[in-house]
A and B are shown apart, each in its own frame.
Chain A
């Protein structure tokens, strides 16, 4: 049953969420929209998508794995980092970012052993999505099985309608939260308006046909296409840092011998050092191999292992690429190759 939150009630809805949850939402920071922690009176930005993906709430760009010290007896001591025990709530997450969290779950939680640190952010989290009424110029979620009103990974889906938001419960946790809030039932007119918005947006977010792509790419490792594709790439890795599904990281120690912290930091397969062996051997020698890895991992290797492609069509890589390398065009060209 769809419910309705009047626009004027939004502030109090957020305020109630912020008690039991660590509440994050899209906020205006400088001239960019970024996810940030909620504080009293802060208005979420409900137009467009956040500049950085919501993945950073579950998988921060830099995170302490543990800290270590050396006792007077020379023995190493290890301390786990204290974390806010409240679960995370993300308000206003777009359906593409919510889907990406499901894809990250496959890597961090479904492969043994589970990543306890990722789980500490994910466990009990409440994802309250907002349907896109105007997909951006780079959006193509419809090409990858998603949609501007997709519900995968969400607990609740909000859709902006006249005077407020309709609320569609998606998960059990979402249903429970909605009934606890006691929001009134949405009117037939409000539901109809939301459905119409979903349909109109879906038409704008389609584009490339990616069916059968994984199987095709499996046979294309040695194709001459890759030698051409990487030519204008600068190897800056912005695409991977903004990607909501990229999850490669480095593990480094900071401090001095015997005392400090062990961190994980986002890393990227677009960097030459990523695969460099200490011996000097590098399995991915040039931009050609690295670009091929990025495309292959998203559209062939990840699907072979987990099923869906590791791309949700958010279009951030297209927006941030300094040389206008457009993944939609790459996919279209791959689709056309024999």
Chain B
């Protein structure tokens, strides 16, 4: 039987520096083995355990979309031992990747509906997989309007700026980018994400809201969505949790009887309301 803890070797093909203070980088990685490149099949919402041999591994959401074939992307904030080591990695370095783990965004249930994405800071990373999946030419016709509300603390903290420009240019996407505080060069919107959500006022009619961001943002986004008439079933989020094994064994990511690594990380707000408040 295969040892589920052994990662596959992957090579860092490209590193994109995302933020002004360079605390978030996007890594494009490719499995060395062609067999793994073929067999590693994932869907938006899933994550992988990324290894730096000798230092450990960390659960990271897969930010690329399955529509981007041949490689995976991870956007990683420099925070702990493993992520700091990854920030010191260079193009051509080899890392370990195992997965994909976790459940997926309910894409089929979203078909025929309006989609409202609400993200804060690095919280855009897990949503970006689903977003790029939905706006891909072959999938875009399956959905009604697509809205992106994205904010960060400052212009320098916005991630995927190179892609936000592309999304902004598309007539079939309504995009609202905001910052908590601007700077002398910033000519865009200033304001907190939950407040911008109230300005945009998406109709709950036939709509799904998908949100991820810092806990304080999520708290007010959920309140505001309910005020706008969204039911808890119409709100989807993805949780961050301390994890080790990723495969429902080590017990670390338990919330009540749920394992975030297996039953999540994607949960509807309706599900979260029935779970202990321990996330």
Contact = CB atoms under 8 A, between A and B. Distances in A.
Q: Chain A interface mostly helix, strand, loop or mixed? A: mixed
Contacts of A305: 257
Given A75-B9, A257-B53, A283-B279, A247 B3 contact: no
Interface stretch (B134-142, B179-187, B198-206, B244-252): B244-252
B215 interface: yes
Q: Identify which of B85, B96, B249 gathers the most chain A CB atoms within 10 Å of its CB.
A: B249
Contact of B248 (A111, A293, A300): A111
A158 interface: no
A152 interface: no
Interface stretch (B54-62, B144-152, B188-196, B221-229): B54-62
Nearest to A75: B94
B257 A301 contact: yes
Interface of A: 65-66, 68, 70, 74-76, 78, 80, 107-108, 111-117, 119, 221, 247-253, 255-260, 262, 264, 267, 269, 274-279, 281, 283-284, 289, 293, 296-297, 300-302, 304-305
Contacts of B108: none
A116 B53 CA distance: 21
Contacts of A253: 53-56
Given A70-B53, A75-B9, A301-B254, 8 more contacts: A65-B5, A113-B4, A248-B251, A249-B250, A251-B5, A258-B54, A264-B250, A300-B257
A249 B242 contact: no
Contacts of B54: 68, 253, 255-260
25 contacts: A66-B5, A66-B6, A68-B54, A76-B9, A76-B96, A80-B6, A107-B248, A107-B251, A108-B249, A113-B2, A116-B2, A116-B3, A247-B249, A248-B251, A249-B245, A251-B56, A252-B56, A257-B55, A260-B54, A275-B242, A278-B80, A283-B278, A283-B279, A289-B278, A304-B256
A281 B278 CA distance: 11
A277 B4 contact: no
Q: Chain B interface mostly helix, strand, loop or mixed? A: loop
Interface string B248-271: 111110111101001000000000
Contacts of A264: 5, 245, 250
A117 B53 contact: no
Contacts of B5: 65-66, 117, 251, 262, 264
A253 B7 CA distance: 13
Contacts of A300: 256-257
B178 interface: no
B16 interface: no
B21 interface: no
Nearest to A119: B1
B20 interface: no
A253 B53 CA distance: 7
B73 interface: no
Contact of B3 (A70, A117, A221): A117
A256 B85 CA distance: 13
A199 to B, nearest CB: 36
B250 to A, nearest CB: 5
Contact of B249 (A111, A256, A262, A281): A111
A65 B254 CA distance: 22
Nearest to B239: A283
B79 interface: yes
B256 A115 contact: no
B256 A66 contact: no
B96 A249 contact: no
Contacts of A283: 241, 255, 278-279
Contacts of B96: 76
B251 A249 contact: yes
A260 B53 contact: yes
Contacts of B63: none
B43 to A, nearest CB: 16
B52 to A, nearest CB: 8
Contacts of A115: 4, 247, 249
B244 A249 contact: yes
Contact of A80 (B3, B85, B256): B3
B157 interface: no
Nearest to B55: A253
B175 interface: no
Q: Which 10 A-B residue pairings sit nearest by Cβ, starting from the closest?
A: A248-B251, A257-B54, A278-B80, A304-B257, A301-B257, A278-B79, A116-B1, A65-B5, A111-B248, A251-B244
A137 to B, nearest CB: 30
Nearest to B276: A221
Interface string B60-98: 000000000000000000011001010000000010100
Contacts of B257: 300-302, 304-305
Contacts of A277: 240-242
A253 B262 CA distance: 24
A71 to B, nearest CB: 10
Nearest to A115: B249
Contacts of A111: 247-249, 259, 262
A171 B254 CA distance: 33
Contacts of A269: 251
Interface string B33-60: 0000000000000000000111111100
A116 B249 CA distance: 12
Contacts of A281: 215
Contacts of A275: 241-242, 252, 278
Q: Identify which of B32, B52, B242 gathers the most chain A CB atoms within 10 Å of its CB.
A: B242
